[in-house]
Chain A
Amino acid sequence: MKINYKKSLKLITLLISALLIATASASVYNYMYMQNSNIAAEAAKVKFTTTGAGDATAAGATVGTNGTYVSFNSMAGWPNSTRTYQAAIGIENTAASAYTIELKFDLAGDWSGQTANVESITVIVRNTAGGTQYGTTITVGTAGSSTGTFSLPATTTYVVEWNIKWKATALSTDKVSVKLTLIVTGE
């Protein structure tokens, strides 16, 4: 096959021109600015607290700085029996007005470990240990399972109850980790 260099050169020139035209097709930009010069770090109005939570020590509860995080490192259960921590942690509203809150097991990935050996883990919010339930029961392992929203009155503490049941076939080496999300609506 004979190559026509003249035609090829023309074609390449045409392609380069097209490319230049395409890139030169500039947009018109208008720049606007939003300035916020006073974003304050406030004290949290709703906090996790061990005060009044009689099972916080047994559950190994540690509240983070500012009360916006809590970890539990010694919850356990015996196979084929239900372990209950009636007041594993408190949720305290320190403000003078009510807040709407919701506790939820958000995503399927929010628990891990030997989850197949768990019979059930449920979480309930009550006004006191063993008292009136607020919202619905959370089933750990079911994505989106939530208390639903409910009002936490001013200067009030509710407690969080955990119920853990391992299957009869669970081994003493089995462990799971569970993350729950607390959503507090409002400033």
Chain B
Amino acid sequence: MEVPIRGWSLVLLNVFLLVSLLLPVNGNALNVYYSLASPISAETPKVILQSGTAGTSTIYMNNTSAKVSVSAPSPTYDYVLKIVNQVANNWKANLKVYDSFNIGRLSNTTISFHDGSTSNQIIINGGIITQSEGPQYDLVGSATIYISMSNVQASASGTSYLYVYLKILVPDTSTYSLYIITFEIT
């Protein structure tokens, strides 16, 4: 049986009316609450990055991100960056790899914190990142931590990149700031 166009129009109109009229009837009891964050401030950084004395380091605007360039082979680059606590507050700091490129050519590389004692943060062995996140290290009030690279060895020529977060944690909370540090190893 052939339905004329006018018939289809009526069917469509009825379906539309059914849906549009019935939906509002299907009501709910809603309770609406508000959450207001005011103000959310842009502060002067309390912890900053500064250039090291080994390799080549570039510090970006506001001293909250950096790039470090080193070449393999080298036994030690000490130090490639400084982490400077500009206030009396204590923090806990650690490094965490969030991305990488062409790591397979690196036979060894260790990135560490030191300021008297040493904390290995990132370890590459046999072209594999065997430790991608380091333990939390105390950055006490007005102190400086140094970042060094040791045992930098490559099995082939090329350029490798490690994209790393420096995590600065407020002790005994889960409030933290993330800085981006790029390690370039040629």
Contacts and interface: CB of A to CB of B under 8 A. Distances in A.
B38 A177 contact: yes
Nearest to A130: B174
Interface string A84-98: 111101000000000
A79 B61 contact: yes
Interface in A68-100: 68-73, 75-87, 89
Interface residues of B, number: 34
Interface in A54-75: 54-55, 57-59, 68-73, 75
Interface string A155-187: 000001010101011111111111111111111
B16 interface: no
A113 interface: yes
A79 B42 contact: yes
A182 B30 contact: no
Interface in B26-85: 28-46, 60-62, 64-65
Size bin of chain A's contact surface:
35 or more
A168 B35 contact: no
Nearest to B47: A78
Given A79-B61, A85-B175, A181 B40 contact: no
Interface string B167-186: 00010111111111000000
A141 to B, nearest CB: 12
26 contacts: A46-B31, A54-B173, A58-B170, A58-B175, A69-B33, A69-B34, A70-B33, A70-B36, A72-B40, A80-B60, A80-B64, A81-B64, A81-B179, A83-B175, A83-B177, A84-B175, A86-B175, A164-B40, A168-B64, A170-B42, A172-B42, A173-B42, A175-B41, A182-B34, A184-B31, A184-B33
Interface of A: 44, 46, 48, 54-55, 57-59, 68-73, 75-87, 89, 103, 113-114, 117, 121, 129-130, 160, 162, 164, 166, 168-187
